[in-house]
Amino acid sequence: MRRGVVRGLFFGTASGVITTLGLIVGLWAGTASLVAVMGGILVIAVSDSMSDAFGIHLAEESQPDASTLGVWLATLTTLGTKFLVAVSFVIPLLLLPLDTAVGVALAWGAVILVALSINIARMRETPAFPVVAEHLAIALLVMILSWAVGTGVRYAFA
């Protein structure tokens, strides 16, 4: 049971941060539209949360030692965590101009990833810095690629 909850929390949180920030950066670079970014976040919060939860459900079911309760705990924890993390990025968009809100969202995502990474390092009894650096580097790569795609789409279709 505990394994399912832990997997759902970590997967849902990481996916919520990376997917939502990638979408924010890509749509911001491509459209500079608050409506597009806000709509994208809300769509991600619903559809991608459900998709990830289903993926975790199938992955957990594929494990021969998985209990039905553990599978459902992983599924529902992933769904709830990803949804809440994704929706948390709406707050800066409601309160700040779009350009500023994107910066705040990036900082918020980094804080979440650092906290998650430190927790993982503690669980594995390893130094936190390499884990934090690895996870932030992956997130940075996703942001750069998302920005490049958004910018490319803007130039190709605007």
Integer angstrom CA distances of residue 52 from 9, 72, 103, 130: 12, 13, 26, 27
Cα 74 to chain centroid, rounded: 16
* Tokens at 143, concatenated: 């942001």
Q: What is the pLDDT of residue 1?
A: 63
Q: How confident is the model at residue 121 (pLDDT cuts 50, 70, 90)?
A: very high
Q: What is the pLDDT of residue 2?
A: 85
Mean pLDDT (whole number) for 126-131: 98
Nearest to residue 91, comparing CAs of 37, 19, 129, 55?
A: 37
Tens-digit pLDDT profile for residues 49-103: 999 999 999 999 999 998 999 999 999 999 999 999 999 999 999 999 999 999 9
From the number of C-beta atoms within 10 Å of its C-beta (0-12, 13-18, 19+), residue 80 rates as middle
**Percentage of residues in the chain having pLDDT higher than 70:** 99
| Residue 139: pLDDT over 90 | yes
| Residue 23: pLDDT over 80 | yes
Of 23-27, 59-63, 139-143, the poorest mean pLDDT is in 59-63
Q: Are 2 and 125 in contact (CB under 8 A)?
A: no
Mean pLDDT (whole number) for 17-41: 97
Phi and psi torsions of 39, nearest 5°: -60, -40
- What residue segments make up the domains of the chain, in order of their start? 2-157
